[in-house]
Structure 1
Amino acid sequence: ARRLKQEGFNVDMAGDGKLCMELISAYDYDCIILDIMLPSMDGLSILQNLRAKKINTPVLLLTAKNSVDDRVKGLETGADDYLTKPFSMEELVARVRVLLRRESKNIVNELSYSDLSLNLITREVTRDGRKIELTIKEYSLLEYFLRNKERILTKAQIAENIWNYDFEYDSNIVEVYINYLRRKVDNKNFKEKLIHNVRGIGYVLKVKK
Protein backbone atom coordinates (compact mmCIF):
# COMPACT_ATOMS: atom_id res chain seq x y z
CA ALA A 1 0.00 0.00 0.00
CA ARG A 2 2.84 2.40 0.79
CA ARG A 3 4.28 2.10 -2.72
CA LEU A 4 0.88 2.78 -4.29
CA LYS A 5 0.50 5.87 -2.10
CA GLN A 6 3.96 7.04 -3.15
CA GLU A 7 2.76 6.77 -6.76
CA GLY A 8 -0.10 9.16 -5.95
CA PHE A 9 -2.97 6.73 -5.38
CA ASN A 10 -5.44 7.00 -2.50
CA VAL A 11 -5.59 3.55 -0.92
CA ASP A 12 -7.95 1.76 1.48
CA MET A 13 -6.86 -1.59 2.92
CA ALA A 14 -8.90 -4.51 4.24
CA GLY A 15 -7.31 -7.37 6.17
CA ASP A 16 -10.21 -9.76 5.70
CA GLY A 17 -12.83 -10.58 3.11
CA LYS A 18 -15.81 -9.32 5.08
CA LEU A 19 -14.35 -5.83 5.54
CA CYS A 20 -13.24 -5.83 1.91
CA MET A 21 -16.81 -6.50 0.75
CA GLU A 22 -18.17 -3.79 3.04
CA LEU A 23 -15.74 -1.21 1.60
CA ILE A 24 -16.47 -2.19 -1.99
CA SER A 25 -20.22 -1.95 -1.37
CA ALA A 26 -19.94 1.42 0.38
CA TYR A 27 -17.48 3.31 -1.82
CA ASP A 28 -16.87 3.85 -5.52
CA TYR A 29 -13.30 2.74 -6.24
CA ASP A 30 -11.38 3.16 -9.50
CA CYS A 31 -9.60 -0.19 -9.12
CA ILE A 32 -9.63 -3.16 -6.71
CA ILE A 33 -6.57 -5.30 -5.93
CA LEU A 34 -7.96 -8.56 -4.60
CA ASP A 35 -5.99 -11.38 -2.98
CA ILE A 36 -7.60 -14.79 -3.35
CA MET A 37 -6.36 -15.87 0.08
CA LEU A 38 -8.35 -13.74 2.54
CA PRO A 39 -9.83 -14.76 5.90
CA SER A 40 -13.63 -14.78 6.48
CA MET A 41 -14.39 -14.58 2.73
CA ASP A 42 -11.98 -15.60 -0.04
CA GLY A 43 -11.19 -13.37 -3.00
CA LEU A 44 -13.08 -15.44 -5.56
CA SER A 45 -16.25 -15.29 -3.46
CA ILE A 46 -15.86 -11.52 -3.14
CA LEU A 47 -15.36 -11.20 -6.90
CA GLN A 48 -18.43 -13.32 -7.64
CA ASN A 49 -20.45 -11.30 -5.13
CA LEU A 50 -19.54 -7.89 -6.48
CA ARG A 51 -20.10 -8.90 -10.12
CA ALA A 52 -23.52 -10.27 -9.12
CA LYS A 53 -24.26 -6.83 -7.66
CA LYS A 54 -23.32 -5.23 -11.01
CA ILE A 55 -20.23 -3.59 -9.50
CA ASN A 56 -17.98 -3.37 -12.57
CA THR A 57 -14.90 -1.81 -11.00
CA PRO A 58 -11.69 -3.22 -12.58
CA VAL A 59 -10.25 -6.05 -10.45
CA LEU A 60 -6.61 -7.16 -10.34
CA LEU A 61 -6.47 -10.64 -8.79
CA LEU A 62 -3.45 -11.79 -6.75
CA THR A 63 -2.88 -15.56 -6.92
CA ALA A 64 -0.33 -18.16 -5.84
CA LYS A 65 2.25 -19.10 -8.47
CA ASN A 66 0.99 -22.65 -9.03
CA SER A 67 -2.77 -22.04 -8.78
CA VAL A 68 -3.74 -22.20 -12.47
CA ASP A 69 -7.29 -23.22 -11.57
CA ASP A 70 -7.71 -20.11 -9.41
CA ARG A 71 -6.47 -17.85 -12.21
CA VAL A 72 -8.83 -19.41 -14.74
CA LYS A 73 -11.77 -19.30 -12.35
CA GLY A 74 -10.96 -15.70 -11.44
CA LEU A 75 -10.94 -14.57 -15.06
CA GLU A 76 -14.15 -16.47 -15.77
CA THR A 77 -15.78 -14.89 -12.70
CA GLY A 78 -14.95 -11.38 -13.88
CA ALA A 79 -11.38 -10.44 -12.95
CA ASP A 80 -9.80 -8.02 -15.43
CA ASP A 81 -6.22 -9.17 -14.84
CA TYR A 82 -4.18 -11.31 -12.47
CA LEU A 83 -0.71 -11.25 -10.93
CA THR A 84 1.06 -14.29 -9.51
CA LYS A 85 3.08 -14.24 -6.29
CA PRO A 86 5.83 -13.32 -5.79
CA PHE A 87 5.70 -10.14 -7.87
CA SER A 88 7.53 -6.82 -8.00
CA MET A 89 5.81 -3.62 -6.88
CA GLU A 90 6.82 -2.05 -10.20
CA GLU A 91 4.74 -4.63 -12.06
CA LEU A 92 1.81 -4.20 -9.67
CA VAL A 93 1.81 -0.42 -10.21
CA ALA A 94 2.11 -0.88 -13.99
CA ARG A 95 -0.84 -3.28 -14.13
CA VAL A 96 -2.98 -0.95 -12.01
CA ARG A 97 -2.20 1.92 -14.39
CA VAL A 98 -3.19 -0.23 -17.39
CA LEU A 99 -6.55 -1.05 -15.79
CA LEU A 100 -7.13 2.62 -14.99
CA ARG A 101 -6.34 3.62 -18.58
CA ARG A 102 -8.92 1.12 -19.83
CA GLU A 103 -11.51 2.82 -17.66
CA SER A 104 -10.29 6.38 -18.31
CA LYS A 105 -13.25 7.26 -20.53
CA ASN A 106 -15.49 6.67 -17.50
CA ILE A 107 -13.38 8.71 -15.09
CA VAL A 108 -14.90 12.06 -14.18
CA ASN A 109 -12.95 15.28 -14.68
CA GLU A 110 -14.64 17.07 -11.81
CA LEU A 111 -15.42 16.35 -8.18
CA SER A 112 -18.25 18.25 -6.54
CA TYR A 113 -20.31 18.40 -3.40
CA SER A 114 -23.04 20.91 -2.57
CA ASP A 115 -21.84 24.21 -4.13
CA LEU A 116 -18.16 23.21 -4.02
CA SER A 117 -16.38 21.88 -7.11
CA LEU A 118 -12.85 20.85 -8.03
CA ASN A 119 -11.69 20.38 -11.63
CA LEU A 120 -9.14 17.55 -11.87
CA ILE A 121 -7.82 18.77 -15.22
CA THR A 122 -7.43 22.52 -14.68
CA ARG A 123 -7.09 22.18 -10.87
CA GLU A 124 -9.57 25.06 -10.51
CA VAL A 125 -11.61 25.15 -7.31
CA THR A 126 -14.87 27.07 -6.97
CA ARG A 127 -17.57 27.43 -4.39
CA ASP A 128 -20.89 29.08 -5.15
CA GLY A 129 -19.33 30.21 -8.43
CA ARG A 130 -16.40 31.95 -6.72
CA LYS A 131 -12.87 30.87 -7.64
CA ILE A 132 -10.71 29.78 -4.69
CA GLU A 133 -6.91 29.76 -4.80
CA LEU A 134 -5.35 26.82 -2.96
CA THR A 135 -1.78 25.68 -2.33
CA ILE A 136 -0.71 22.24 -3.58
CA LYS A 137 -1.28 20.60 -0.18
CA GLU A 138 -4.60 22.37 0.36
CA TYR A 139 -5.73 21.16 -3.07
CA SER A 140 -4.68 17.57 -2.29
CA LEU A 141 -6.49 17.75 1.04
CA LEU A 142 -9.70 19.04 -0.55
CA GLU A 143 -9.51 16.40 -3.28
CA TYR A 144 -9.20 13.71 -0.61
CA PHE A 145 -12.27 15.08 1.19
CA LEU A 146 -14.28 15.22 -2.05
CA ARG A 147 -13.35 11.65 -2.94
CA ASN A 148 -14.58 10.63 0.50
CA LYS A 149 -17.54 12.98 0.97
CA GLU A 150 -19.80 12.23 3.95
CA ARG A 151 -17.23 9.70 5.16
CA ILE A 152 -15.50 10.33 8.51
CA LEU A 153 -11.73 10.52 7.98
CA THR A 154 -9.37 10.05 10.91
CA LYS A 155 -6.34 12.29 11.34
CA ALA A 156 -4.17 9.21 10.80
CA GLN A 157 -5.84 8.48 7.43
CA ILE A 158 -5.38 12.07 6.31
CA ALA A 159 -1.71 12.17 7.38
CA GLU A 160 -0.96 8.89 5.63
CA ASN A 161 -2.71 9.79 2.37
CA ILE A 162 -1.64 13.43 2.05
CA TRP A 163 1.83 13.38 3.62
CA ASN A 164 2.67 9.67 3.28
CA TYR A 165 3.77 9.24 6.86
CA ASP A 166 2.45 8.00 10.16
CA PHE A 167 0.18 10.29 12.16
CA GLU A 168 2.59 10.28 15.12
CA TYR A 169 5.27 11.97 12.96
CA ASP A 170 3.59 15.35 13.47
CA SER A 171 0.07 15.21 14.81
CA ASN A 172 -0.42 18.98 14.50
CA ILE A 173 0.12 19.30 10.76
CA VAL A 174 -3.29 17.84 9.86
CA GLU A 175 -5.09 20.28 12.13
CA VAL A 176 -3.03 23.20 10.81
CA TYR A 177 -3.85 22.45 7.17
CA ILE A 178 -7.50 21.77 7.91
CA ASN A 179 -7.65 25.27 9.38
CA TYR A 180 -5.91 26.72 6.31
CA LEU A 181 -8.43 24.99 4.04
CA ARG A 182 -11.42 26.05 6.12
CA ARG A 183 -10.40 29.71 5.91
CA LYS A 184 -10.73 29.48 2.14
CA VAL A 185 -13.68 27.13 1.53
CA ASP A 186 -15.65 27.54 4.76
CA ASN A 187 -15.36 31.25 5.52
CA LYS A 188 -18.13 33.78 6.23
CA ASN A 189 -18.72 34.36 2.51
CA PHE A 190 -20.58 31.06 2.31
CA LYS A 191 -23.93 30.11 3.82
CA GLU A 192 -22.98 26.79 5.39
CA LYS A 193 -19.88 25.01 6.61
CA LEU A 194 -18.88 21.82 4.83
CA ILE A 195 -15.82 20.57 6.75
CA HIS A 196 -16.75 19.50 10.26
CA ASN A 197 -14.75 18.25 13.21
CA VAL A 198 -15.80 14.85 14.56
CA ARG A 199 -14.72 14.98 18.18
CA GLY A 200 -12.11 12.42 19.10
CA ILE A 201 -11.99 10.94 15.59
CA GLY A 202 -11.21 13.35 12.76
CA TYR A 203 -13.12 15.28 10.12
CA VAL A 204 -15.95 14.90 7.61
CA LEU A 205 -17.06 16.80 4.50
CA LYS A 206 -20.81 16.97 4.91
CA VAL A 207 -23.83 19.25 4.68
CA LYS A 208 -25.41 19.26 8.12
CA LYS A 209 -29.19 19.00 7.89
Structure 2
Amino acid sequence: MKLSTGIKILLADDEPHILQFLELGLSNEGFDVRTAPDGAAALELALDFRPHMAILDVMMPEMDGFEVVERLRKSGAQIGVIMLTAKDEVENRVKGLWLGADDYMIKPFAFDELLARIQARLRNQFPLLIGAVTHGPIRIDDQRKEITYHDQILELSPTEYELLKFIVLNHGIVLSKATILNRVWGYDFGGEENIVEVYVRSLRDKLGDKEHKLIRTLRGVGYRVDL
Protein backbone atom coordinates (compact mmCIF):
# COMPACT_ATOMS: atom_id res chain seq x y z
CA MET A 1 0.00 0.00 0.00
CA LYS A 2 1.34 3.44 -0.88
CA LEU A 3 1.71 6.00 1.91
CA SER A 4 -0.57 8.36 -0.05
CA THR A 5 -3.49 5.89 -0.07
CA GLY A 6 -6.55 7.51 1.49
CA ILE A 7 -5.23 11.06 1.15
CA LYS A 8 -7.68 13.28 -0.73
CA ILE A 9 -6.59 16.01 -3.13
CA LEU A 10 -8.72 18.59 -4.94
CA LEU A 11 -7.40 20.00 -8.24
CA ALA A 12 -8.90 23.18 -9.71
CA ASP A 13 -7.76 24.63 -13.03
CA ASP A 14 -9.58 25.89 -16.13
CA GLU A 15 -7.02 24.29 -18.45
CA PRO A 16 -8.22 20.72 -19.18
CA HIS A 17 -4.79 19.39 -20.18
CA ILE A 18 -3.27 20.52 -16.86
CA LEU A 19 -6.10 18.93 -14.91
CA GLN A 20 -5.75 15.68 -16.82
CA PHE A 21 -1.96 15.61 -16.40
CA LEU A 22 -2.08 16.28 -12.64
CA GLU A 23 -5.03 13.96 -12.03
CA LEU A 24 -3.26 11.08 -13.78
CA GLY A 25 0.05 11.69 -12.02
CA LEU A 26 -1.39 12.07 -8.52
CA SER A 27 -3.77 9.13 -8.96
CA ASN A 28 -0.82 6.97 -9.96
CA GLU A 29 0.84 8.02 -6.69
CA GLY A 30 -2.14 6.62 -4.80
CA PHE A 31 -4.02 9.84 -3.98
CA ASP A 32 -7.81 10.09 -4.12
CA VAL A 33 -8.19 12.94 -6.63
CA ARG A 34 -11.19 15.08 -7.61
CA THR A 35 -11.11 17.89 -10.17
CA ALA A 36 -12.97 21.15 -10.78
CA PRO A 37 -12.87 23.38 -13.89
CA ASP A 38 -13.52 26.68 -12.09
CA GLY A 39 -13.42 28.33 -8.69
CA ALA A 40 -17.11 28.02 -7.83
CA ALA A 41 -17.11 24.30 -8.57
CA ALA A 42 -13.89 23.90 -6.57
CA LEU A 43 -15.40 25.53 -3.49
CA GLU A 44 -18.56 23.43 -3.68
CA LEU A 45 -16.55 20.24 -4.17
CA ALA A 46 -14.17 21.11 -1.32
CA LEU A 47 -17.00 21.47 1.19
CA ASP A 48 -18.45 18.11 0.13
CA PHE A 49 -15.27 16.10 -0.58
CA ARG A 50 -13.29 17.53 2.35
CA PRO A 51 -9.84 17.06 0.81
CA HIS A 52 -6.60 17.13 2.78
CA MET A 53 -4.97 19.24 0.05
CA ALA A 54 -6.22 21.67 -2.59
CA ILE A 55 -4.16 22.71 -5.60
CA LEU A 56 -5.74 25.86 -7.00
CA ASP A 57 -5.00 27.84 -10.13
CA VAL A 58 -5.15 31.58 -9.48
CA MET A 59 -6.86 32.67 -12.69
CA MET A 60 -10.14 30.73 -13.05
CA PRO A 61 -13.64 31.66 -14.26
CA GLU A 62 -16.62 32.04 -11.91
CA MET A 63 -14.35 32.58 -8.90
CA ASP A 64 -10.58 33.02 -8.86
CA GLY A 65 -8.20 31.03 -6.67
CA PHE A 66 -7.76 33.93 -4.24
CA GLU A 67 -11.47 33.96 -3.39
CA VAL A 68 -11.60 30.16 -3.13
CA VAL A 69 -8.79 30.01 -0.56
CA GLU A 70 -10.26 32.94 1.36
CA ARG A 71 -13.65 31.22 1.61
CA LEU A 72 -12.08 27.90 2.54
CA ARG A 73 -10.25 29.53 5.44
CA LYS A 74 -13.40 31.31 6.61
CA SER A 75 -15.29 28.00 6.55
CA GLY A 76 -12.81 26.55 9.04
CA ALA A 77 -11.83 23.72 6.70
CA GLN A 78 -8.57 22.03 7.68
CA ILE A 79 -6.88 21.87 4.31
CA GLY A 80 -3.45 22.50 2.86
CA VAL A 81 -3.46 24.86 -0.13
CA ILE A 82 -0.93 25.17 -2.93
CA MET A 83 -1.67 27.88 -5.50
CA LEU A 84 -0.59 27.74 -9.14
CA THR A 85 -0.01 30.78 -11.31
CA ALA A 86 1.49 31.67 -14.67
CA LYS A 87 2.38 35.10 -13.32
CA ASP A 88 5.80 35.39 -11.73
CA GLU A 89 4.79 38.45 -9.73
CA VAL A 90 5.62 38.98 -6.07
CA GLU A 91 2.33 40.78 -5.36
CA ASN A 92 0.30 37.73 -6.46
CA ARG A 93 2.32 35.40 -4.27
CA VAL A 94 2.03 37.74 -1.28
CA LYS A 95 -1.72 38.13 -1.76
CA GLY A 96 -2.27 34.37 -1.91
CA LEU A 97 -0.19 33.75 1.20
CA TRP A 98 -1.95 36.50 3.14
CA LEU A 99 -5.33 34.98 2.25
CA GLY A 100 -4.29 31.60 3.61
CA ALA A 101 -2.38 29.70 0.93
CA ASP A 102 0.43 27.50 2.28
CA ASP A 103 2.62 27.42 -0.80
CA TYR A 104 2.96 28.80 -4.33
CA MET A 105 4.19 27.35 -7.61
CA ILE A 106 4.86 29.12 -10.89
CA LYS A 107 3.78 27.46 -14.15
CA PRO A 108 5.34 25.56 -15.80
CA PHE A 109 6.62 23.37 -12.98
CA ALA A 110 8.07 19.88 -12.58
CA PHE A 111 5.60 17.26 -11.32
CA ASP A 112 8.24 15.85 -8.92
CA GLU A 113 8.57 19.27 -7.28
CA LEU A 114 4.79 19.55 -6.84
CA LEU A 115 4.71 16.06 -5.34
CA ALA A 116 7.51 16.99 -2.91
CA ARG A 117 5.65 20.13 -1.84
CA ILE A 118 2.43 18.17 -1.32
CA GLN A 119 4.23 15.65 0.87
CA ALA A 120 5.90 18.43 2.85
CA ARG A 121 2.53 20.06 3.56
CA LEU A 122 1.02 16.72 4.58
CA ARG A 123 3.86 15.98 6.99
CA ASN A 124 3.43 19.38 8.57
CA GLN A 125 -0.36 19.62 8.60
CA PHE A 126 -1.57 16.00 8.77
CA PRO A 127 1.11 14.00 10.61
CA LEU A 128 -1.41 11.30 11.49
CA LEU A 129 -1.76 10.36 7.84
CA ILE A 130 1.76 8.99 7.77
CA GLY A 131 2.07 7.45 11.23
CA ALA A 132 1.11 7.42 14.88
CA VAL A 133 1.44 10.46 17.13
CA THR A 134 2.00 10.48 20.88
CA HIS A 135 1.01 13.27 23.26
CA GLY A 136 1.76 12.49 26.89
CA PRO A 137 0.01 9.23 27.87
CA ILE A 138 -2.14 9.26 24.71
CA ARG A 139 -1.09 7.63 21.43
CA ILE A 140 -3.16 8.11 18.28
CA ASP A 141 -2.73 5.68 15.40
CA ASP A 142 -4.90 6.99 12.59
CA GLN A 143 -3.98 4.16 10.24
CA ARG A 144 -5.46 1.62 12.67
CA LYS A 145 -8.08 4.03 14.05
CA GLU A 146 -6.88 3.28 17.57
CA ILE A 147 -6.18 5.50 20.56
CA THR A 148 -4.29 4.15 23.55
CA TYR A 149 -4.20 5.74 27.00
CA HIS A 150 -1.39 4.58 29.29
CA ASP A 151 -0.78 1.73 26.80
CA GLN A 152 -4.40 0.54 26.99
CA ILE A 153 -6.51 0.59 23.80
CA LEU A 154 -9.70 2.57 24.35
CA GLU A 155 -12.99 1.13 23.10
CA LEU A 156 -14.36 4.09 21.14
CA SER A 157 -17.17 4.65 18.69
CA PRO A 158 -16.16 6.36 15.40
CA THR A 159 -17.44 9.72 16.66
CA GLU A 160 -15.72 9.32 20.03
CA TYR A 161 -12.50 8.52 18.19
CA GLU A 162 -12.73 11.64 16.01
CA LEU A 163 -13.64 13.85 18.98
CA LEU A 164 -10.82 12.60 21.21
CA LYS A 165 -8.34 12.83 18.34
CA PHE A 166 -9.35 16.42 17.60
CA ILE A 167 -9.19 17.70 21.16
CA VAL A 168 -5.93 15.86 21.92
CA LEU A 169 -4.21 17.20 18.80
CA ASN A 170 -5.28 20.67 19.94
CA HIS A 171 -4.26 20.14 23.56
CA GLY A 172 -3.70 23.32 25.51
CA ILE A 173 -6.15 25.22 23.27
CA VAL A 174 -9.65 26.13 24.45
CA LEU A 175 -12.16 24.69 21.94
CA SER A 176 -15.72 25.99 21.85
CA LYS A 177 -18.66 23.65 21.28
CA ALA A 178 -19.27 25.36 17.93
CA THR A 179 -15.69 24.68 16.82
CA ILE A 180 -15.91 21.05 17.91
CA LEU A 181 -19.22 20.55 16.12
CA ASN A 182 -17.85 22.06 12.92
CA ARG A 183 -14.67 19.98 12.91
CA VAL A 184 -16.00 16.65 14.23
CA TRP A 185 -19.66 16.51 13.19
CA GLY A 186 -19.35 18.76 10.10
CA TYR A 187 -20.38 22.25 9.16
CA ASP A 188 -23.84 21.05 8.04
CA PHE A 189 -24.70 19.33 11.35
CA GLY A 190 -28.22 20.35 12.30
CA GLY A 191 -28.36 19.02 15.86
CA GLU A 192 -27.93 20.63 19.26
CA GLU A 193 -24.60 21.73 20.78
CA ASN A 194 -25.42 19.64 23.85
CA ILE A 195 -24.38 16.54 21.90
CA VAL A 196 -20.78 17.62 22.59
CA GLU A 197 -21.40 17.41 26.35
CA VAL A 198 -22.78 13.89 25.98
CA TYR A 199 -19.72 12.67 24.09
CA VAL A 200 -17.25 14.45 26.39
CA ARG A 201 -18.93 12.77 29.37
CA SER A 202 -18.53 9.38 27.68
CA LEU A 203 -14.86 10.04 26.92
CA ARG A 204 -14.20 11.03 30.51
CA ASP A 205 -15.73 7.76 31.68
CA LYS A 206 -13.53 5.73 29.34
CA LEU A 207 -10.42 7.71 30.32
CA GLY A 208 -11.19 7.45 34.04
CA ASP A 209 -11.16 11.24 34.16
CA LYS A 210 -13.62 11.59 37.05
CA GLU A 211 -12.11 14.85 38.32
CA HIS A 212 -11.98 16.39 34.82
CA LYS A 213 -8.23 16.97 35.03
CA LEU A 214 -7.57 15.66 31.52
CA ILE A 215 -10.54 17.14 29.67
CA ARG A 216 -11.27 20.40 31.45
CA THR A 217 -14.48 22.40 31.15
CA LEU A 218 -14.20 26.18 30.98
CA ARG A 219 -17.74 27.28 31.67
CA GLY A 220 -19.22 29.46 29.00
CA VAL A 221 -16.14 28.99 26.81
CA GLY A 222 -15.54 25.34 25.96
CA TYR A 223 -13.12 22.49 26.65
CA ARG A 224 -9.37 22.14 26.93
CA VAL A 225 -7.20 19.03 27.11
CA ASP A 226 -4.25 19.28 29.51
CA LEU A 227 -1.47 16.73 28.99
TM-score range, shorter chain: 0.5 to 0.7
Deviation at 1:69, TM superposition (A): 4.5
Match of 2:159 among 119, 130, 137: 137
Q: Does 1:184 align with 2:219?
A: no
**Counterparts in 2 of 1:102 and 1:163: CA distance versus 1, 3 Å:** same
How many aligned residue pairs are there?
149
Instruction: Show the 5 A alignment for 1:72-151.
Output: 74=93, 79-81=103-105, 100-101=118-119, 103-104=121-122, 107-108=127-128, 109-151=131-173
Instruction: Show the 5 A alignment for 1:1-209.
Output: 4=46, 6-8=48-50, 35=66, 60-61=82-83, 68-70=87-89, 74=93, 79-81=103-105, 100-101=118-119, 103-104=121-122, 107-108=127-128, 109-165=131-187, 169-187=191-209, 193-207=213-227
Partner Cα separation in structure 2 for residue 174 and residue 182 of structure 1: 12
Q: TM-score, normalised by structure 1?
A: 0.54
In structure 2, stretches of 5+ residues that fail to align are 1-42, 53-64, 70-79, 108-113
Q: Once the two structures are superposed, what CA deviation does each residue of 1:21-65 show, in whole Å capped at 9, x if it has no partner?
A: xxxxxxxxxxxxx949x9xxxxxxxxxxxxxxxxxxx752387xx
Amino acid at match of 1:79: D
Partner Cα separation in structure 2 for residue 80 and residue 68 of structure 1: 11
Q: For the Cα contact (< 8 Å) 2:139–2:149, is it kept in 1?
A: yes
Deviates most, 141-150 or 108-117: 108-117
Deviation at 1:153, TM superposition (A): 0.5
Partner Cα separation in structure 2 for residue 72 and residue 137 of structure 1: 43
Identical aligned pairs, as a percentage? 27
Amino acid at match of 1:206: D
Task: Say what the alpha-carbon RMSD is for the aligned residues.
Answer: 4.3
Q: Once the two structures are superposed, what CA deviation does each residue of 1:109-160 show, in whole Å capped at 9, x if it has no partner?
A: 1232211111111112111111211100000001111221111111000011
Amino acid at match of 1:149: H
Partner Cα separation in structure 2 for residue 100 and residue 186 of structure 1: 39
Is the partner of 2:160 in helix, strand or coil?
helix
Amino acid at match of 1:163: W
**Counterparts in 2 of 1:169 and 1:132: CA distance versus 1, 3 Å:** closer
Q: TM-score, normalised by structure 2?
A: 0.50
Amino acid at match of 2:215: I
Partner Cα separation in structure 1 for residue 134 and residue 84 of structure 2: 33
